[in-house]
Structure 1
Amino acid sequence: MVVDDEALVRSGFQLILGAADDVEVVATTTGAEAVDTVVRVRPDVVLLDIRMPDVDGLTVLRELRALARPPVVAMLTTFDADEYILTALRSGAAGFLLKDTEPDQLAQLVRTLAAGGVVLSPKASRAVWQSHPGAAAVDDEEAARVGRLTGREREVLVLIAEGLSNGDIGARIHLSAGTVKDHVSAILTKLRVTSRVQAALLAQRAGLLDAGRDAEGGR
């Protein structure tokens, strides 16, 4: 389901996503009608504009998260350093998409969200943190939590931050989905976070993603 105040954006996303055989756009709507529509059509994934004139996207997000069966919600934004993104991620959004995302990537991003992955562009995530320098520093307690992760757990955490689902992580590092699930549970417990997004953000702030890219570059 696509929620945006601009009809052109709604129709564009519907056209692009509807072309994928395994993605069905069950509804498009403005922010004012979003919650009622979600309750009625029960989408698996909601792409929600973060800035709308009729109702704030963060307000819609909070209302959706309060539902008994909340959908996975990713925020839509025009700016990679949008000041509201951090609030949305901390409020339960499963990631964010820039509205100028390449059309051929959109369906795969929706598949990632539906499979339980997160959508956090490393470039855009860095822009978010750089625009909020006070929120970017990992404190001593958080660093200690990250330090308690095993090598395998760090590897899984980096893949979580890259947006991979448990199944994709297992395929990447040759583990069963059940084993990956156990690793994810241990990671959330050790980091004292409640969601994959929060874990991914902490990995970003702790420099694990940059370290992973440096290691790949040195091979």
Structure 2
Amino acid sequence: MDDEALVRVGFELMLGSVPDIEVVASVDGTHAVDALRRTRPDLVLLDVRMPGRNGLEVLDELMGFDIPPVVAILTTFDSDEYIARALQDGASGFLVKDTDPERLPVLLRALAAGGIVLSPQVSRTLLGRISRRGSEDAVRRISGLTPREVEVLALLNTGASNHEIGDLLHLSRATVKDHVGAILRKLDVASRLEAALVADRAGLALDESVSSRRERPQRSGR
């Protein structure tokens, strides 16, 4: 969704041509929540600035759905001040509007699978501007996790999806989902992205054995 109809149409045409992606709505901020309540998409792209209602207001309402969709924020460099609020409100990714069209479907698939996606420009801004708790506090919070939860958190910090984490740690998706929920609760954060930032602040790294498996090529058929 975007404040300019031409940009919305461009995204719709670009994504609608991808075989495994279906665009179910392309509307402005005023009609967004009604359209999304009706169509119940798995993934939503929200612009920060939209006529009628801005993307942050829409995001806040979407997070109140019984089953909230995955939400990625489309942003520009002059909207950096909104990133912190979107992060706290549950956004799973931040993409700049000039993202390479060939890369966009790949990024959206990663988001839909439970991963975290940050455009490089946004990640630099995010890490540089968001006020985060100190590293000592981050380490303290992580110390309250179980060893398995620490492994899952380390993989979250790489952007791995629940499916990838389950494969790497030999866990079912349901078990991974339970671990992720426990991690968010114990770290007192609202999203996987916030949890990953805590891990980054604490200097959490993958165990070497897990890291080597993460670097192996994926099996065909996924």
TM superposition score normalised by structure 2:
0.79
Letter in 1 for 2:70: V
Matches of 2:158 and 2:152 in 1, distance apart?
10
Deviations 1:49-100 (A, max 9, x none): 0122432211111122223343221111122971101101101212211111
* Deviation larger for 19-28 or 9-18: 9-18
TM superposition score normalised by structure 1:
0.80
Deviations 1:187-219 (A, max 9, x none): 3343233432221222233343xx56xxx7xxx
* Deviation larger for 59-68 or 97-106: 59-68
Matches of 2:155 and 2:77 in 1, distance apart?
25
> Aligned pair 1:30/2:45, yes or no?
no
**Residue aligning to 1:67:** 65
* Deviation larger for 9-18 or 142-151: 142-151
1:128 to 126, 129, 141: 126
Deviations 1:90-117 (A, max 9, x none): 0121221111111122112222222222
**Residue aligning to 1:82:** 80
Count of matched residue pairs: 212
**Residue aligning to 1:169:** 165
**Residue aligning to 2:180:** 184
Matches of 1:76 and 1:63 in 2, distance apart?
17
> Alignment partner of 1:47: what SS?
strand
> Aligned pair 1:142/2:138, yes or no?
yes
Decide whether the 8 Å contact of 1:5 with 1:52 is kept in 2: yes
1:206 to 198, 202, 209: 202
Decide whether the 8 Å contact of 1:116 with 1:165 is kept in 2: yes
> Alignment partner of 1:46: what SS?
strand
Letter in 1 for 2:100: E
Post-superposition shift, 1:130?
Answer: 1.0
Deviations 1:103-148 (A, max 9, x none): 122112222222222323465223223124xx13426433201234
Change in CA separation of 1:105 and 1:174 when aligned onto 2, cut-off 3 Å: farther
Give the aligned CA root-mean-square deviation in angstroms. Answer: 3.1
Change in CA separation of 1:23 and 1:80 when aligned onto 2, cut-off 3 Å: farther
Change in CA separation of 1:131 and 1:192 when aligned onto 2, cut-off 3 Å: closer
2:14 to 13, 16, 19: 16
Structure 2: gaps spanning 5 or more residues: 212-222
Matches of 1:178 and 1:80 in 2, distance apart?
39
> Aligned pair 1:195/2:191, yes or no?
yes
Decide whether the 8 Å contact of 2:88 with 2:194 is kept in 1: yes
* Deviation larger for 32-41 or 114-123: 114-123
Matches of 2:168 and 2:161 in 1, distance apart?
10
Matches of 1:63 and 1:148 in 2, distance apart?
31
Decide whether the 8 Å contact of 2:28 with 2:51 is kept in 1: no
Structure 1: gaps spanning 5 or more residues: none
Deviations 1:144-179 (A, max 9, x none): 012344665444223213332111123345544355
Matches of 1:191 and 1:43 in 2, distance apart?
28
